[in-house]
């Protein structure tokens, strides 16, 4: 049919943002034009990425839209891309959030506008590349190349201790991914290929020499790189710093997509390549995830800073994802992926909202707010809606994922479920309490009386997240129908553990 | 006197085989002769153009040289893929250096005649080092290259620091060459020959005499000094700090590449005995001392000096690997290191301004805003020096470490990988300062002149090319490596046999 487009589509979706970024390089420094151009590029990418959904055959177990060309002969590196029901949604999440990031940065970035949008678009390419590459080397390349634009976004356009935050973010994640590189090189040395499918088949067929002894180390090598990115307790300390100092768009992509690179990696590589090791290590990983859920929530509760609350809530929510992944149940993994998407939408929305407030008040301190519902009713409504999505109110997106994760966790071990379920309560506590302190009561600071409400542009950026949050909550099957078969394929090695699909 | 000897006049082909050297010498001498005839203002531009014409002609003549592979001048010179590779590399570096110097000379008010002349003559020595297979000739080539570098180091005559670095380099350098010569003499004593191939035969056939071990160690000391490998690296930071910045870019790449070429010949072609622990220790020390030293530097030139010690260490790692893997890895590394380091120093030398006033880390604050092109270029070179993918630096490290892993050098690889991570810190520090600190307005940035612009574009293109499509260069390096290690294979500069070094399991 349109087989040409099917082969080229992933290349297009991945590289159009970067190509747009390079074009911006030679653009005249007219800020308005640059913003519009960046918006067009990101919308075009989003439009193209819809092609992925439209032509997806949910029962096809192989990767979709594959393209496989030799890139470098020694070492044997291929340009191999493809998506399945797992990665496609993450690509879509990225392309969905980027135009919103452009919109939300419209006014807040007024110096070095050109550099900002170049970095943002290059970052989008790297993020999409992480999810689309099926060659481990290509994956590693995209993985590392997210670091530079992100660190620069934080370091140049951030606030406060931005340089400290940028360097901490860079070194933390870079050092961790060196271990993944070591594991990659080991696999390459034994298998002779970086191709994910080839390596997976070789491992499953038991053709990799010395695999049994090396597997625990390889598993850890991958896991460490991903755990820092997620971030799993106790590797989370870079996250609050990076978030608080990052510009709004940086926070949105950081929380919305970058963290998911870690959980996606666990799902794809740790589970995909090392099923035995995954099961073997699951207990302590689940415990770390549970600690993350509870600890993240408790710390979030006492933060005096709006962005820190949201940042720690990410630690807590991503704990759910890890818990779901290492429950090895159909429901748990479906839920994990759903939480990843839902968290991307709702936390992205929350960070945008926090950024809107920062543009007006130049602070994130909760103590400087109070009673904001009076001067900014629309803002308060949006905030309430997206916050409730994040809390996990039924009919909004947070609920579906967390419910699935918890039901999967119960099947794996009822204690996981019990402790994990408290996380839902905690998140209601810290988010609602934060909401109350920011919006309810009398206006405590006189200057807050005159805060302007949302502008049309800001509403334009917020409506899509609100609609997506609602749609995902009301009709989760639209997503789960595609997720479910992909997860089933991923879980084949765990067949004996897999349980019934929730909802049947 | 034997009649045969008289008749043995070298055939024309022999001269073709040293054509690049001849071309460079002629141009070098022409520049020297013209210098007194021109007034100072004019000589800057004219002599620079002549120098550029010289290197470009030499580059073309390399092609001719490559078409006639084989031995020349009674087996003293050998043209093969290996020597062609290093000829192209050295001459390309020289070309970029001349492009960079073009405007630097005017800003620093340096007389051009001797400068360009010495650069070309130095390049002659370096080219000859890569094709010589006779230890005495190697020594002479080494001296030609070294002496011109000693003088070039002291070219900022108005500055005591430059003279100091020149003298320091000269004294220590002569000492090191003496070691090398001593080693050559002992090697002759041990094997009865100074020809690398014959030495190789002797060392492989019979029991290796103890003298050969000593000779090898002494030669390693001499060459180790030239490549700035620990523990013979002490001179590097001081000399680099004092020397003119473009020259530092030059001497950290071209003579170093040539010295590595000699080391490859001596170590692998001659199959030097007892080298393993010598090289292992030196590699580990160079990487560690270089990186640790660089961590605390505030002066960019000193920082890059320590970084060059570290990079010498990475290259030495490959020397501990098996010959074929090691040779090709070193060749690739030399090429990509040249691209990124020459480029980085081109930026540094332009930014340093008259009298090289602005060379501390502080001065780079906010460069990203004031000079986006310069900062962007330097940023990419630094990213390549860290070894991040799609830059040449990544594949350079990749090949070195995978060669080491294939040779079961796990310990050395781990030391190397940890060091690369360590190195990321100080390179990043420069990027952070450039982009994330507020600019100090009093540091002026001159507009980028044409010559420098071209030089930067060339080095950037090379850095990215080696990072995106390393296949061709690596292929060539691998074939040359095979020739070097098995000299019996028919000498052809463009070998066709395919060498599958990184074998693929089914």
pLDDT of residue B276 exceeding 90, the answer is: no
- Mean pLDDT rounded to a whole number for chain B: 86
User: Using one digit for the tens of pLDDT, what is the confidence trace for B63-116?
Assistant: 999 888 888 888 889 998 889 999 999 999 999 999 988 878 777 777 777 889
Set of chain A residues whose Cβ sits within 8 Å of the Cβ of B475:
73-74
| DSSP conformational letter for A160 | S
Give the chain B residue nearest A151 (alpha carbons): B432
The length of chain A, given as a count of residues: 504
Contact B504 A163 (CB under 8 A): no
Tally Cβ neighbours within 10 Å of residue A329: 28
Q: Are B162 and B155 in contact (CB under 8 A)?
A: yes
Q: Are B289 and B282 in contact (CB under 8 A)?
A: no
Residue B44: its pLDDT value, please? Answer: 77
Of A68, A354, A329, A336, the closest CA to residue A198 belongs to A68
Contact A155 B435 (CB under 8 A): yes
Give the chain A residue nearest B466 (alpha carbons): A72
What phi, psi does B172 have (nearest 5°)?
Answer: -65, -40
Residue A157 CA to residue A155 CA, distance in Å, equals: 6
Contact B474 A162 (CB under 8 A): no
A376 assigned to some structural domain: yes
For the ranges A290-294, A412-416, B156-160, B268-272, which has the lowest average pLDDT? B268-272
A50 assigned to some structural domain: no
Average pLDDT over residues A11-40: 88
Contact B405 A171 (CB under 8 A): no
The beta-carbon neighbor of B505 closest among A75, A148, A191 is A191
B1 assigned to some structural domain: no
Q: Which residues are within 8 A (CB) of B359 and not within 5 positions of it... i.e. 6 or more apart?
A: B245, B299, B300, B301, B348, B352
User: Using one digit for the tens of pLDDT, what is the confidence trace for B27-37?
Assistant: 999 998 988 88
| DSSP conformational letter for B274 | T
User: How far B248 CA lies from chain A's nearest CA (Å)?
Assistant: 28
B50 assigned to some structural domain: yes
The beta-carbon neighbor of A141 closest among B383, B389, B406 is B389
A481 assigned to some structural domain: yes
Contact A178 B475 (CB under 8 A): no
B506 assigned to some structural domain: no
Average pLDDT over residues B260-281: 84
Residue A55 CA to residue A455 CA, distance in Å, equals: 37
Contact B369 A112 (CB under 8 A): yes
The beta-carbon neighbor of A144 closest among B389, B421, B478 is B389
**Structure-token pair, residue B460:** 């950037």
pLDDT of residue A1 exceeding 60, the answer is: no
pLDDT of residue B499 exceeding 50, the answer is: no
B505 assigned to some structural domain: no
User: How far B471 CA lies from chain A's nearest CA (Å)?
Assistant: 6
Residue A26 CA to residue A32 CA, distance in Å, equals: 15
Tally Cβ neighbours within 10 Å of residue B487: 16
- CA separation, residue A369 to residues A281, A444, A451 (Å): 45, 7, 11
Q: Label the pairing between strands A77-83 and B70-72.
A: unpaired
Work out the percent of chain B whose per-residue pLDDT is above 70: 94
Contact B405 A189 (CB under 8 A): yes
Pinpoint the alpha helices (H) of B227-371. 235-242, 245-251, 254-264, 276-295, 300-319, 323-352, 367-370
The beta-carbon neighbor of B474 closest among A74, A163, A192 is A74
Set of chain B residues whose Cβ sits within 8 Å of the Cβ of A178:
417, 420-421
The beta-carbon neighbor of A74 closest among B368, B436, B471 is B471
Partner A, chain B 293-352, Cβ-Cβ below 8 Å: none
Residue A340: its pLDDT value, please? Answer: 92
Contact A156 B470 (CB under 8 A): no
Residue B235 CA to residue B255 CA, distance in Å, equals: 15
B490 assigned to some structural domain: no
Give the chain B residue nearest A202 (alpha carbons): B506
Q: Is A233 helix (H, G, I), strand (E, B) or coil?
A: coil
Q: What is the 3-state secondary structure (H, E, C) of B454-505?
A: HHHHHHHHHHHHHHHCCHHHHHHHHHHHHHHHCCCCCCCCCCCCCCCCCCCC
Tell which of A71, A75, A199, A228 to mutate to test the B interface (max B CBs under 10 Å). Answer: A75
B498 assigned to some structural domain: no
pLDDT of residue B56 exceeding 90, the answer is: yes
Can you name the residues that pair with A72 across neighbouring β-strands? A77
Partner A, chain B 184-203, Cβ-Cβ below 8 Å: none
Question: Does the beta carbon of A190 lie under 8 angstroms from any beta carbon of chain B?
Answer: yes
Set of chain B residues whose Cβ sits within 8 Å of the Cβ of A194:
none
pLDDT of residue B271 exceeding 80, the answer is: no
The length of chain B, given as a count of residues: 506
B8 assigned to some structural domain: no
Give the chain B residue nearest A185 (alpha carbons): B402
Tell which of B436, B437, B464 to mutate to test the A interface (max A CBs under 10 Å). Answer: B436
Partner A, chain B 368-397, Cβ-Cβ below 8 Å: 368-369, 372, 383, 388-390
Give the chain B residue nearest A190 (alpha carbons): B505
Average pLDDT over residues B120-138: 93
Set of chain B residues whose Cβ sits within 8 Å of the Cβ of A22:
none
User: How far A110 CA lies from chain B's nearest CA (Å)?
Assistant: 14
Question: Does the beta carbon of B471 lie under 8 angstroms from any beta carbon of chain A?
Answer: yes
pLDDT of residue B502 exceeding 50, the answer is: no
The most distant pair of C-alpha atoms in chain A lies apart, rounded to whole Å, by 71
Question: Does the beta carbon of A170 lie under 8 angstroms from any beta carbon of chain B?
Answer: yes
User: Using one digit for the tens of pLDDT, what is the confidence trace for A64-91?
Assistant: 888 888 888 777 888 899 998 889 999 9
Give the domain extent around A352. Answer: 278-495
Give the chain B residue nearest A209 (alpha carbons): B505
Residue B479 CA to residue B332 CA, distance in Å, equals: 12
Residue B504: its pLDDT value, please? Answer: 38
The pLDDT confidence band at residue B489, using thresholds 50, 70 and 90, is low
B496 assigned to some structural domain: no
The pLDDT confidence band at residue A349, using thresholds 50, 70 and 90, is very high
A198 assigned to some structural domain: no
Count how many pairs of residues, chain A against chain B, have C-beta atoms within 8 Å: 69
Contact B424 A174 (CB under 8 A): yes
Separation of CA A272 from chain center:
19
Give the chain A residue nearest B406 (alpha carbons): A189
Separation of CA B69 from chain center:
23
User: How far A361 CA lies from chain B's nearest CA (Å)?
Assistant: 24
Residue A444: its pLDDT value, please? Answer: 81
The beta-carbon neighbor of B471 closest among A73, A167, A170 is A73
User: Using one digit for the tens of pLDDT, what is the confidence trace for A472-482?
Assistant: 989 988 888 88
CA atoms within 13 A on the CB side of B320: 26
pLDDT of residue B269 exceeding 80, the answer is: no
| DSSP conformational letter for A235 | S
Contact B389 A170 (CB under 8 A): no
User: Using one digit for the tens of pLDDT, what is the confidence trace for A182-235?
Assistant: 888 888 888 888 889 888 888 888 888 888 888 888 999 899 999 998 888 888
Give the chain A residue nearest B420 (alpha carbons): A178
Tally Cβ neighbours within 10 Å of residue A495: 9
Element (H, E) at A70: strand A64-72
Residue B196: its pLDDT value, please? Answer: 87
A402 assigned to some structural domain: yes
Give the domain extent around B477. Answer: 15-485
Rg (CA), chain B: 22
Of A317, A464, A337, A470, the closest CA to residue A394 belongs to A470
User: Using one digit for the tens of pLDDT, what is the confidence trace for B334-356?
Assistant: 999 999 999 999 999 888 877 77
Contact B406 A190 (CB under 8 A): no
CA atoms within 13 A on the CB side of B256: 31
Give the chain B residue nearest A182 (alpha carbons): B417
User: How far A75 CA lies from chain B's nearest CA (Å)?
Assistant: 7
Pinpoint the alpha helices (H) of B192-244. 196-205, 210-226, 235-242
Contact A171 B503 (CB under 8 A): no
The pLDDT confidence band at residue B160, using thresholds 50, 70 and 90, is confident
User: Using one digit for the tens of pLDDT, what is the confidence trace for B408-430?
Assistant: 888 888 888 888 888 888 998 89
- pTM for this model (two decimals): 0.83
Residue B1: its pLDDT value, please? Answer: 39
Q: Label the pairing between strands A77-83 and A64-72.
A: antiparallel
User: Using one digit for the tens of pLDDT, what is the confidence trace for A221-249?
Assistant: 899 999 998 888 888 888 888 888 889 88
Tally Cβ neighbours within 10 Å of residue A361: 16
Average pLDDT over residues A393-398: 87
- Domain count of chain A? 1
**Structure-token pair, residue A320:** 């759910």
Residue B37 CA to residue B40 CA, distance in Å, equals: 9
Question: Does the beta carbon of A477 lie under 8 angstroms from any beta carbon of chain B?
Answer: no
Tally Cβ neighbours within 10 Å of residue A57: 10
Contact B421 A175 (CB under 8 A): yes
Tell which of A27, A74, A113, A209 to mutate to test the B interface (max B CBs under 10 Å). Answer: A74
Q: Which residues are within 8 A (CB) of B221 and not within 5 positions of it... i.e. 6 or more apart?
A: B176, B179, B180, B183, B232
Q: What is the crossing angle of helices A85-104 and A3-25, to 10°?
A: 30
Set of chain B residues whose Cβ sits within 8 Å of the Cβ of A163:
432, 436-437
Average pLDDT over residues B292-306: 91
Q: Is A69 helix (H, G, I), strand (E, B) or coil?
A: strand
What's the helix, strand, coil split of chain A in %, to 5?
75, 5, 20
Question: Does the beta carbon of A460 lie under 8 angstroms from any beta carbon of chain B?
Answer: no
The beta-carbon neighbor of A178 closest among B369, B383, B421 is B421
Give the chain A residue nearest B421 (alpha carbons): A175
- Domain count of chain B? 1
**Structure-token pair, residue A133:** 């590459």
């Amino acid at each position: 049919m349109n087989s040409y487009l099917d082969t080229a589509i992933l290349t297009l979706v991945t590289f159009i943002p970067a190509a747009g970024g390079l074009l911006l390089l030679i653009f005249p420094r007219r800020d308005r034009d640059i913003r519009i151009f960046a918006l067009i590029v990101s919308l075009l990418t989003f439009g193209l990425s819809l092609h992925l959904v439209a032509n997806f055959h949910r029962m096809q177990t192989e990767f979709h839209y594959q393209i496989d060309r030799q890139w470098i002969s020694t070492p044997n590196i291929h340009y191999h891309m493809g998506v399945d029901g797992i990665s496609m949604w993450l690509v879509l999440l990225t392309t969905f959030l980027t135009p919103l990031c452009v919109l939300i940065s419209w006014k807040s970035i007024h110096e070095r506008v050109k550099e900002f949008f170049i970095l943002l678009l290059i970052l989008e390419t790297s993020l999409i590349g992480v999810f689309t590459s099926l060659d481990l080397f290509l994956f590693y390349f995209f993985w590392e190349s997210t670091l530079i634009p992100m660190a620069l976004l934080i370091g140049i356009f951030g606030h406060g201790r931005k340089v400290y935050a940028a360097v901490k973010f860079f070194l933390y994640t870079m050092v961790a991914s060196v271990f993944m590189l070591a594991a990659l090189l080991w696999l390459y040395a034994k298998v002779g290929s970086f191709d994910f499918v080839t390596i997976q088949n070789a491992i499953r067929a038991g053709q990799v020499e010395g695999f049994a002894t090396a597997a625990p180390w390889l598993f850890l090598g991958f896991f460490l790189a991903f755990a820092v990115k997620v971030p799993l307790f106790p590797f989370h300390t870079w996250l609050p710093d990076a978030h608080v100092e990052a510009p709004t768009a940086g926070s949105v992509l950081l929380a919305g997509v970058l963290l998911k690179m870690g959980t996606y990696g666990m799902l794809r590589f740790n589970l995909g390549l090392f099923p035995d090791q995954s099961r073997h290590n699951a207990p302590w990983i689940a415990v770390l995830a549970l600690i993350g859920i509870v600890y993240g929530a408790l710390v979030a509760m006492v933060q005096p800073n709006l962005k820190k609350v949201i940042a720690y809530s990410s630690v807590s929510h991503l704990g759910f994802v890890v818990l779901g992944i290492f429950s090895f149940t159909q429901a748990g993994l479906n839920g994990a992926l759903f939480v990843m998407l839902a968290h991307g939408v709702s936390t992205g929305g929350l960070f945008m909202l926090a950024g809107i407030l920062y543009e007006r008040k130049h602070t994130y301190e909760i103590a400087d707010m109070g009673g904001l519902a009076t001067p900014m009713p629309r803002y308060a409504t949006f905030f309430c809606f997206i916050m409730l999505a994040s809390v996990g109110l039924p009919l909004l997106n947070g609920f579906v994922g967390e419910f699935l994760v918890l039901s999967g966790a119960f099947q794996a071990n009822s204690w996981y479920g019990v402790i994990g379920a408290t996380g839902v309560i905690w998140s209601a506590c810290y988010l609602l309490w934060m909401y109350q302190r920011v919006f309810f009561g009398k206006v405590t600071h006189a200057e807050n009386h005159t805060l302007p409400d949302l502008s049309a542009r800001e509403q334009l950026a917020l409506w899509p997240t609100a609609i997506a949050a609602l749609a995902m909550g009301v009709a989760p099957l639209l997503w789960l129908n595609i997720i479910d078969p992909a997860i089933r394929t991923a879980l084949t090695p765990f067949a004996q553990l897999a349980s019934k699909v929730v909802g049947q | 006197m034997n009649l045969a000897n008289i008749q043995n006049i070298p055939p024309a082909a022999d001269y073709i085989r040293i054509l690049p050297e001849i071309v460079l010498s002629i141009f070098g001498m022409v520049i020297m002769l013209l210098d007194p005839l021109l007034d100072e203002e004019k000589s800057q531009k004219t002599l620079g153009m002549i120098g550029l014409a010289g290197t470009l002609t030499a580059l073309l003549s390399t092609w001719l040289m490559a078409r006639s592979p084989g031995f020349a001048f009674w087996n003293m010179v050998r043209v093969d893929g290996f020597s062609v590779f290093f000829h192209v590399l050295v001459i390309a570096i020289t070309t970029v250096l001349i492009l960079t110097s073009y405007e630097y000379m005017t800003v620093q008010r340096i007389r051009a005649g001797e400068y360009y002349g010495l650069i070309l003559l130095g390049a002659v020595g370096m080219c000859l080092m890569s094709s010589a297979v006779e230890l005495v000739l190697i020594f002479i080539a080494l001296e030609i290259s070294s002496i011109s570098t000693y003088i070039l180091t002291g070219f900022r005559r108005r500055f005591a620091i430059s003279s100091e670095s020149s003298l320091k380099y000269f004294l220590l350098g002569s000492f090191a060459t003496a070691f090398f010569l001593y080693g050559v003499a002992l090697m002759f004593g041990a094997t009865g020959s100074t020809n690398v191939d014959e030495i190789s035969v002797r060392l492989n056939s019979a029991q290796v005499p103890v003298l050969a071990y000593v000779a090898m160690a002494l030669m390693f000391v001499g060459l180790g000094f030239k490549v700035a490998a620990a523990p013979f690296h002490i001179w590097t930071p001081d000399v680099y700090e004092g020397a003119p910045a473009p020259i530092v870019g030059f001497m950290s790449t071209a003579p170093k590449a040539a010295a590595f070429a000699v080391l490859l010949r001596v170590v692998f072609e001659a199959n030097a005995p007892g080298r393993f622990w010598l090289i292992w220790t030196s590699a580990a020390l160079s990487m560690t001392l270089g990186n640790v030293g660089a961590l605390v530097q505030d002066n960019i030139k000193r920082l890059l000096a320590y970084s060059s010690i570290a990079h010498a260490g990475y290259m030495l790692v490959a020397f501990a690997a098996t010959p074929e893997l090691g040779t090709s890895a070193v060749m690739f590394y030399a090429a990509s290191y040249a691209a990124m380091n020459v480029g980085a120093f081109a930026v540094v030398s332009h930014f340093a301004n008259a009298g090289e006033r602005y060379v501390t880390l502080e001065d780079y604050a906010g460069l990203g805003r004031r000079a986006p092109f310069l900062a962007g270029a330097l940023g990419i070179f630094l990213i390549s020096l860290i070894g991040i993918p799609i830059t040449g630096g990544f594949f350079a490290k990749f090949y070195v470490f995978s060669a080491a892993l294939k040779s079961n050098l796990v310990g050395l690889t781990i030391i190397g990988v940890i060091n690369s991570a360590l190195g990321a810190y100080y390179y990043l520090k420069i990027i952070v300062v450039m982009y994330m600190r507020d600019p100090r307005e009093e540091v002026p940035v001159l507009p980028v002149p044409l010559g420098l612009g071209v030089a930067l574009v060339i080095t950037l293109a090379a850095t990215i090319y080696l990072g995106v499509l390393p296949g061709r260069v690596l292929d060539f390096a691998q074939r040359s490596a095979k020739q070097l290690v098995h000299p019996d294979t028919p000498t052809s500069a463009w070998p066709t046999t395919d060498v599958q070094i990184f074998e693929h399991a089914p």
